A and B are shown apart, each in its own frame.
Chain A
Amino acid sequence: MGDQDCCFLYDMGFLNVAILLIIGASTLIAIRILYVIYGSKTLHNRPPGPLSTLIVLGSGGHTAEMLNLLAVMQMDRFKPRYYIAAATDNMSLQKARVLEDSLMEKTGVGMIGTAHFMQIYRSREVGQSYVTSVGTTLIALTHALWLMIKIRPQVILCNGPGTCIPLCAIAFFFKVFGIRWSSIFYVESIARVKKLSLSGWLLYKLRMADQLFVQWSQLKSKYPRANYVGRLM
């Protein structure tokens, strides 16, 4: 019996090493994730010059709020700018173009190479069945990954709804594996007075957003890590 055990353990030697390696690797990844979440707050070794910025436009009211924010930002610090909207939303990119055009008029600098406009597939349209949404979710994720590899933004600005979640998740993955360090900012919609939206809640709970802003003080008392900044609209 004892002999058998010994042989068995000897055979398992290779497996043990593999298990140890896996444990070691996952510990390293866990430490790295903790660093990304908690260490990022004090990180200021930003390279000089402007930062490439991804702006996720949500549709309707979300887009209006985002454009309101962009209107007061020093845009020369955030370039090139990549605007992403859902493929089914044909208004948002048009509005972003209007903003970029007015910027160009103001500064006299051409926006060629500064502003890019892209569309992204949504994982699930309203009313779509859950069976087909498995396939479309995979397509949407692949598409999001492809866009993120192309853009590799240093700053991500988003304010919901769900379109921004795969992009933020991929950005977080990039941070953990050292592909690209980005700062993720999420501004909760003004429509949320008492409860975070699902997107906001996910980014808050999973600590994927570096900074999360809320527009009503009621939310700040419920989610203490959020920043209360007053109304944007």
Chain B
Amino acid sequence: MGEADDSLTSERVVFVTVGTTCFDSLVRAVDTQDVKEALFKKGYTHLVIQMGRGTYIPSKSSGEDGSICVDYFTFSSSIAEFLKSASLVISHAGSGSIFETLRLRKPLIVVVNEDLMDNHQSELAEELAERKHLFCARPQTLYETISTMDLDSVVAYEAGDATPVANFINRFLGFTDE
């Protein structure tokens, strides 16, 4: 993957992350021709997949044949760098990935893993999708979500604040200064 500096301006990277999980159905969905074409049509030039513990290996592509350029890896200590350089993030529903991406104000599609036994994670993704901070999809609806998503409709996420909890704890313990 020749990443020359002058190409940075025209590069639009889609970063797919599954965290430390195994989420083959997402990697497989991203690797379909439909999804790759939809992303390319939307103007994205590169697709980088962090596949975690998954066993499904996506097909690499240099993108020379006029399609999206695809690369993948399992784990990296610099996920934050990938998130920063991405123009679109497609993530598993872990709260860590979700809030890290939202804080960077990157467009985000959260894909819920329906194979998980305790699937409480869809709660958060659906709540945040309702508030228009992100798009929520299932592996089988990813193509549809990508082709119909309107990035202008996204409402920027205002970071939360932990001070009410800290104040509450202080009051409860009898620390008085406020």
Tell me the nearest residue of chain B to A64, going by C-beta: B96
Question: Do the beta carbons of B123 and A68 come within 8 Å of each other?
Answer: no
Residues of B within 8 A of A71 (CB): 162
Question: Do the beta carbons of B120 and A195 come within 8 Å of each other?
Answer: yes
Question: Do the beta carbons of B165 and A190 come within 8 Å of each other?
Answer: no
Q: B2 at interface (Cβ–Cβ under 8 A)? A: no
Chain B 91-122 interface 0/1 with A at a Cβ cutoff of 8 Å (1 = within): 00011100100000000000000000000110
Q: A46 at interface (Cβ–Cβ under 8 A)? A: yes
Known: A190-B124, A193-B123, A211-B168. A60 touches B96 (CB 8 A): yes
Q: A192 at interface (Cβ–Cβ under 8 A)? A: yes
Question: Do the beta carbons of A213 and B168 come within 8 Å of each other?
Answer: yes
For residue B104, give the distance in angstroms from its CB to the closest CB of chain A: 13
Residues of A within 8 A of B160 (CB): 190, 215, 230-233
Question: Do the beta carbons of A77 and B170 come within 8 Å of each other?
Answer: yes
Instruction: Of the listed stretches A21-29, A104-112, A131-139, A181-189, name the one at the interface; the rest are far from the partner chain.
Output: A181-189
Q: A227 at interface (Cβ–Cβ under 8 A)? A: yes
Residues of B within 8 A of A210 (CB): 172
A39-58 residues at the B interface, CB under 8 angstroms: 44, 46, 51
Question: Do the beta carbons of B127 and A216 come within 8 Å of each other?
Answer: yes
CA distance A191 to B124 in the complex (A): 5
Question: Do the beta carbons of B168 and A194 come within 8 Å of each other?
Answer: no
For residue A65, give the distance in angstroms from its CB to the closest CB of chain B: 8
Question: Do the beta carbons of A64 and B170 come within 8 Å of each other?
Answer: no
Q: A155 at interface (Cβ–Cβ under 8 A)? A: yes
Among B19, B164, B168, chain A packs the most CB atoms within 10 A around the CB of B164
Residues of B within 8 A of A195 (CB): 120, 123
A184-232 residues at the B interface, CB under 8 angstroms: 185, 187, 189-195, 197, 210-211, 213, 215-216, 227, 229-232
Q: B20 at interface (Cβ–Cβ under 8 A)? A: yes
Tell me the nearest residue of chain A to B99, going by C-beta: A233
Question: Do the beta carbons of B174 and A46 come within 8 Å of each other?
Answer: yes
Q: A69 at interface (Cβ–Cβ under 8 A)? A: yes
Residues of B within 8 A of A77 (CB): 170, 173, 175
Ranked nearest first, the 6 interchain pairs of A and B with the lowest CB-CB distance are A231-B160, A61-B95, A193-B123, A61-B96, A229-B164, A69-B162
**Pairs A–B under 8 Å by Cβ, sample size 26:** A44-B174, A60-B19, A60-B96, A61-B94, A61-B95, A61-B96, A69-B162, A72-B161, A73-B166, A189-B95, A190-B95, A191-B120, A191-B123, A192-B120, A192-B123, A194-B123, A195-B120, A195-B123, A211-B168, A213-B168, A216-B127, A227-B168, A231-B161, A232-B162, A233-B95, A233-B159
